[in-house]
Structure 1
Amino acid sequence: MTTHPAGPTAPAGASPVTFHDHLLPGITAGRYRITVDQRLPAEDLPGARFEPVRQTVNVQAAQFRLDPSWVHAVYPAAHSQGSFHRLLPHITLDAATLPWQREPFTAGTRSPVRTPWLALLLFGEGELPGDPDALGATTSVTVGRLLTGDPAVSGPRLDPNAVDPVLLDTPCHVVDVPQDLLAQLLPDPSDLKYLAHVRVGGEDAAPAEGQDGPPAPDAYAVVTTARFPREDQGRYVAHLVSLEGHAPPLTSDGKPEPDGKHVRLVSLHHWTFTSCPTARDGFGRLAERFTPDNDEHSAAPLRPAPDPGTGLREDLSYLLEQGLVPMTHVTDSGERTLAWYSGPFLPRVAPELPRPADGHFPDADGLLLHEPVTGTFAVGYACAWNTGRALALADPGFATTLVRLRHRGRLRRATDRQYATYQRQLYGALPTGAVAGESPREVFEELLRGDAADVLATALGVPEDEPRPRAVPAAPVPPRRDVPRHASTARTPSPDAAEAAKWLARLRTLRGVPFDCLVPDQRMLPPESLRLFHVDRGWLDALLDGARSLDRNPDADTATDTELDELLAGHGPVPVAGLLLRSALVPGWPALRVEAHSAGTEPVRVIHNEVLGADVLLVLFDRVPHSLTISEPPQGLHFGTDEEGEVVLRRQGRGDAAPPPKRSVPAPMARPAGPRVLDVGKLAAVLARELAAEIAPRTAISPAEFAMQLVRAPEQLTLTFGGTRR
């Protein structure tokens, strides 16, 4: 059971993201005692009162370690470098209730909004004694040792008896923070609620398999730090730490505790990045490289570009423009010669590949095409066939399923042929009106509909005066069948056929195909480039034919091949076009959004979206797009100020009913001469006062409204293509 606060807040414009103050679990983590007491209305009766039943229940939640799969994204990205001095780093968690599953500090805090037990702290070089270079170094200790305490540091005060004994021997990561530094970085306990919120975005959510209707929105918990990186270049490490069991770092007079001990904090997740104000690695600056007339960085068709000044003949340059790459080819006799290779991605629409009579290529030799310009072979389709066969052999599950499917199909075919032979031998002379291929029962019923009933009645001695059953009129004769009725093709697909078709459908979207087969020359995709292409349907067919060639007999497996073809047709459209993006945008924005539209406003369906390697993104479409939009993900919204260090006020609420404020306020710093820490409480009061004319007058705003005012709108780049070459 979870609860949302009333009145979610949406950012300005048509954004699909809404903000909530929190997403509270129905019960926080801890140990509870449940007591059940039952009494009857008449207490004077014997046995009217029962003894109460008590049961102790442990509600468990993450406490000393965090599952890495729960981290949806971090910003800035791990190990990235960019101009981040105006942005507040943050972490996005898939577990939307996690920041509110426990209580912070030892005495708790009084606030109408639940205070999170997690905080994101940012440390620069030379600040952490155990990590002076801000490389993300931590100390590993067991949970039992952490709870026992170290006299040299101030650790969390938690009851070891309240912790699962299994966890006491498990390791956890800790960092020791100087007390005066922690007092500067950590806001007042009453202001911590502004640094965590819940973000719900429905546009990127995908429906579950087998689910009908619109997809359910995804909810993410976001924890933000209050510290800006410095304006000069430097490396930083961000730690998501636990505040459970700690005392607030400041005393009542605003000074740190006098003991001067380092505070030992549990680090649940950490990452490093480098802030460089002069870096050109921001989203906008990286995306601008793909605009037209930007040399090799601009969006262009995927083709091998010859080096300038090579003086190639016109016919060879034409082959390169068509997407063919010259490569060394070793023939069956061992000779080394030149051949031309083309992968599935071409800068043109490929002509239809002629297919054999049965629709499937039996081997790769039949796919070696003669290239008349140079008198050599084009080996692209043959390589596709061999690649599909190698991938099928490398997957023992698919290979076993396909072979079993073919053997069962042959057994069924042999049974049908044997039954047809037996039927012809036993019922070679069928009565008039009978249909060849019918079962013996059907033949007998056909005989009884005619004069055979009277003949049988006389032979069995049935009296003449007894009423005899009236002959049933003959049913319409169905069209002649070549296959016995028990072997009808309208049968339910077998599990093996469904599984094999599903595997082939995934292969058709090029999942698992080596990247060298897709892009044979690295010069076709230089760093920081965007390349567009058409998908060669013949290459995909050759790839699938190679995978289906295992234990295939063209004469005996016709029915099995037909069944697979029918199932494949129901697994969605075939890729027609796509793009390859090689850029720092791929690792820097893991949930990068790519949208395409046709000549009108209709969106183009994305069939496949996959990150290949460290910095390459592959996107396949069901048709050729007319425009392309690359944008930051909604869940990756950034927080910070503009270039002048001010917070631009945003409209509150949904739609266009309320006009935008069109004003901004300076972001107050808690200690201007210190580590650039935002005064969260003061900024919240200023924002509430400035927005009082737009919302109901109050002295403070909610965490969701606070986060919305600090949002830096996601950037995007839209490219329009005038046409495609054929």
Structure 2
Amino acid sequence: MTTHPTERSAPADDTPVSFHDHLLPGIEAGRYRITVDQQLPAEDLPGARLDPVEQIVNVRAAQFRLDPSWVHAVYPAAHSQGPFGGLLPHITLNPAALPWEREPFTSGVQNPARDARAPWLALLLFGEGELPGDPNALGTTASVTVRALLDGDAAVYGPALDRNAVDPALFDTPCQVVDVPRDLLAQLLPEPSDLAFLAHVRTGGEDAAPGAAPDASPDAAPAEGHDGRLSHDGQRSQDGRLSHDGRLTQDAHAVITTARFPGTGRGRYAAHLVSLEGHVPPPGPQAADDKPVRLVSLHSWTFTSCPASGDGFGRLAGRFTPGNGEHSAAPLRPAPTAGSGLPDELATLLEQGMVPMTHITESGERALAWYSGPFLPRVAPGLPRPEHGHFPDADGLLLHEPRTGTFATGYACAWNVGRALALADPGFATTLVRLRHQGRLRRATERQYTTYRRQLFHSAPSAGPSGPAPRAAVRAAAPTPREQFEELLRGDALSALAASFGTPGDDDAEPRPRTAPAAPATYRLHAPPRSAAPQPPSSDARETAAWLARLRTLSGVPFDCLVPDQRMLPPESLRLFHVDRGWLDALLDGARSLDRHPAADTATDAELDGLLDDQGSVPAAGLLLRSALVPGWPTLRVEARTASGTVPVKVIRREPLGGDVLLMLFDRMPDRLTISEPHQGLHFGVDDQGNVALRSLAPGEVGRPLERSVPVGTDPALTVTTPAGARVLDIGRLAVRLAEDVKPGSPLSPAELAVQLVRAPEQLTLSFEGTTR
């Protein structure tokens, strides 16, 4: 078993990650006047000159509200806690051009010496007691209408926006705002000329669309890092900016970071993605009053930063390594208490994953029984099936345990659970009963048709050398109505029908004339046989099979049936298990027991079995993770692979159960498990010593560690402590300082600075080769 939560490790996925300075839209949001003037070459002709035509066009983009689906990820995760003191929180947006669709501030401040363009969005971090309207840093905002925001408020400094460029339909819609003290805003926001360093575009990685190229600039040669995973795009178009390219937007995400570090002590923080459009660069107007600045908050979340001794990702994941007692990754079993003195046969049952339970018999008596759920620390033997293939009731699944003289009730419980879940879903129960009735009706019709055809065959007159047999020899009793109808067909009426419709016995022959009917013995007295082509399954059959396939992944099964004893899964533990196929079969048999008649529903059950085989893989193994990693990192990455480490194990189901339990089911038992921070864990900041580990920017070696670093956290010129106690990074001065080491003589671009500030996500690799599971 190995662990490597190193700062120099590459991103957890194998897809290259590229950084770009920005992605400029084809046209910026605003109000445009389009003038069309047309003039013919010969001015002396009548109508040669036409009056110009003008049209006002409003190009609108997100301004007061942000679609929640546009927020791809945030870091730190919402409501998480950990040692985030050396990290720069950031937000990842799906529309890659969104931060550059508008202009920041009213004066359009821009540093002409730099090619990068400043975004109109900024990420601000506020601690407890800093915002008057949110003293506890819970992310609280005030709601005002767009009309009220445009009209302004005498108590605050609001944005100066063009009312004519706003859609009137938005005037009465609400937007969220925060009122920030002017001196605090001046301390947190960088210089307008340095604002561009806080936003960039990232392509590739786990977020990449399938088949999308990691480098999307049309005229930029791929610049892969030393490990093939980090790169930056240093190419520029003629105006010194990245041109808007459709390929880039396929897998691109905009990333906006804050310049403020969370505190090293414990404290809650609220992060707000705010709009700078229409504002004056801080410190703002010099006035005697102390009015705050009203900013539109497009998205907000909270997290808690605690000291390094707290439960961060590395500390939490490190508990699963060997030697950590009950926290270690181990099979799922109720281990006997040390020194309990249990007999060997009882200890063996516990080692096999069985739990002692109280069994109430049908007569009301209480007895000791053993229960085992679908998750076992061993490969379970096959469950013998009855002759007709399905168990009729739960009593047939009570297995006798000869060593203790008790019953094993696991399979019987699975049957009852399946039946209870089927009855609790009226839609499924109705569909299953209707499917069975349709099958019975279809088979009854086929049997009736077969019987009728056989009767017609036996009642047909046999032709001898002298012609048909006498009628009296066929009937031994009074004729029935059917026999009378058949007698009618055997006479002249049958000959007339045969002459009209042709000879059924010879489809290719010409119709015989009415005057020459064929002999009665040559006619078919039954319809031609039906086609042998298989019929497609009905919608009820497909719906039933899909429901059963979900149940086969234990969807809806109570957690107590999966883990019968909480001591099997203590807090901060990881447990591996094999899935008992017999338990799954018993569960499905109970669900399919509604209105089942074994003799009449054989064909329906066979049809369902065939459809279930086409519903994907059957779970064979899995893991249960009970840890603070589950709520703290909602998109935690767990990769299971075989012993070679190259073949991934198929994940059949992944779902959080409760607040801190994660369930994963695989198609086979993995030999290697990698737990890593999610892709938004590709974050930015300094290491534990407050240093920035330098990376190469040379073509073909982008991202390669240079084995040297720049102290940032201890340099007061680079990390400024504000009067409010906040640690704010002087992003512009840092870019100049890093350029001296990695790019002498040239300034760093936002993409190049992002490469320097990358902190790879931590990960833990557990190896199980050669171990007994």
TM class, shorter-chain normalised? 0.7 to 0.9
Distance 1:455 1:405, change over 3 A: closer
- Per-residue deviation, 1:109: 3.8
**Partners of 1:16 and 1:316 in 2: CA distance:** 54
Task: State the SS of the aligned residue for 2:367.
Answer: strand
Please, which of 429, 443, 459 is the counterpart of residue 399 of structure 1? 429
1:262 aligns with 2:292: yes
- Per-residue deviation, 1:380: 1.6
Task: State the SS of the aligned residue for 1:140.
Answer: strand
1:448 aligns with 2:499: no
Corresponding residue of 1:707: 754
1:140 aligns with 2:143: yes
State the structure with more CA Rg: 2
- Per-residue deviation, 1:627: 1.3
State the Cα deviation string for residues 403-458 of structure 1 (Å, max 9, x = none).
Answer: 333333233222322322232233457999xxxxxxx99x98783389xx699579
Distance 1:393 1:96, change over 3 A: farther
1:541 aligns with 2:576: no
Mean Cα deviation higher: 526-535 or 25-34: 25-34
Structure 2 residue ranges without an equivalent (≥5): 1-9, 212-248, 464-496, 519-526
Corresponding residue of 1:231: 264
Corresponding residue of 1:343: 373
- Contact 2:102–2:120 (CA under 8 A) maintained in structure 1: yes
Task: State the SS of the aligned residue for 1:290.
Answer: coil
- Contact 1:30–1:59 (CA under 8 A) maintained in structure 2: yes
- Contact 1:12–1:652 (CA under 8 A) maintained in structure 2: no
Corresponding residue of 1:479: none
Please, which of 597, 612, 637 is the counterpart of residue 657 of structure 2? 612
Corresponding residue of 1:6: none
Please, which of 397, 405, 422 is the counterpart of residue 452 of structure 2? 422
- Per-residue deviation, 1:577: 0.9
Task: State the SS of the aligned residue for 1:682.
Answer: helix
Please, which of 371, 383, 386 is the counterpart of residue 416 of structure 2? 386
Corresponding residue of 1:688: 739
Distance 1:163 1:533, change over 3 A: same
CA RMSD of aligned residues (A): 3.6
Corresponding residue of 1:289: 319
- Per-residue deviation, 1:91: 2.0
**Partners of 1:52 and 1:484 in 2: CA distance:** 80
Corresponding residue of 1:436: none
1:620 maps to a residue whose letter is: L
Task: State the SS of the aligned residue for 2:609.
Answer: helix
- Per-residue deviation, 1:485: 5.0
Corresponding residue of 1:249: 282
1:358 aligns with 2:381: no
**Correspondence list, 1:508-657, <5 A:** 508-601=552-645, 602-652=647-697
**Partners of 1:653 and 1:386 in 2: CA distance:** 66
Distance 1:183 1:361, change over 3 A: same
State the Cα deviation string for residues 172-225 of structure 1 (Å, max 9, x = none).
Answer: 3322111011011011222222212233345466869xxxxxxx9754332211
- Per-residue deviation, 1:11: 7.7
Distance 1:85 1:458, change over 3 A: closer
Distance 1:458 1:259, change over 3 A: closer
- Per-residue deviation, 1:238: 1.5
**Partners of 1:90 and 1:240 in 2: CA distance:** 9
1:699 maps to a residue whose letter is: P
Distance 1:676 1:375, change over 3 A: same
Mean Cα deviation higher: 24-33 or 143-152: 24-33
Task: State the SS of the aligned residue for 1:318.
Answer: helix
- Contact 1:201–1:635 (CA under 8 A) maintained in structure 2: no
Distance 1:455 1:523, change over 3 A: closer
**Correspondence list, 1:91-102, <5 A:** 91-102=91-102
- Contact 1:201–1:634 (CA under 8 A) maintained in structure 2: no
State the Cα deviation string for residues 552-572 of structure 1 (Å, max 9, x = none).
Answer: 332332222222222221222
**TM-score scaled by length of structure 1:** 0.83
Task: State the SS of the aligned residue for 2:619.
Answer: coil
**Partners of 2:204 and 2:361 in 1: CA distance:** 55
Distance 1:72 1:225, change over 3 A: same
Distance 1:204 1:66, change over 3 A: closer
Distance 1:673 1:288, change over 3 A: same
Corresponding residue of 1:475: none
Distance 1:100 1:425, change over 3 A: farther
1:315 aligns with 2:345: yes
- Per-residue deviation, 1:131: 2.3
- Per-residue deviation, 1:581: 0.8
**Partners of 1:260 and 1:645 in 2: CA distance:** 35
**Partners of 2:11 and 2:191 in 1: CA distance:** 27
Structure 1 residue ranges without an equivalent (≥5): 1-9, 209-215, 433-439, 463-482
**Partners of 2:327 and 2:502 in 1: CA distance:** 79
Please, which of 402, 408, 430 is the counterpart of residue 372 of structure 1? 402
Distance 1:241 1:676, change over 3 A: same
1:411 maps to a residue whose letter is: L
- Contact 2:11–2:761 (CA under 8 A) maintained in structure 1: no
Paired residue total: 673
Please, which of 176, 188, 199 is the counterpart of residue 202 of structure 2? 199
- Contact 1:235–1:272 (CA under 8 A) maintained in structure 2: yes
Corresponding residue of 1:679: 730
Corresponding residue of 2:184: 181
- Per-residue deviation, 1:299: 0.5
- Contact 1:142–1:168 (CA under 8 A) maintained in structure 2: yes
1:374 maps to a residue whose letter is: T
Q: Which protein, 1 or 2, shows the higher relative CO under an 8 Å CA cutoff with sep ≥ 6?
A: 2
State the Cα deviation string for residues 631-658 of structure 1 (Å, max 9, x = none).
Answer: 1123321211122322111133786589
1:279 aligns with 2:309: yes
- Per-residue deviation, 1:152: 1.1
Q: How many percent of aligned residue pairs carry the same amino acid?
A: 71
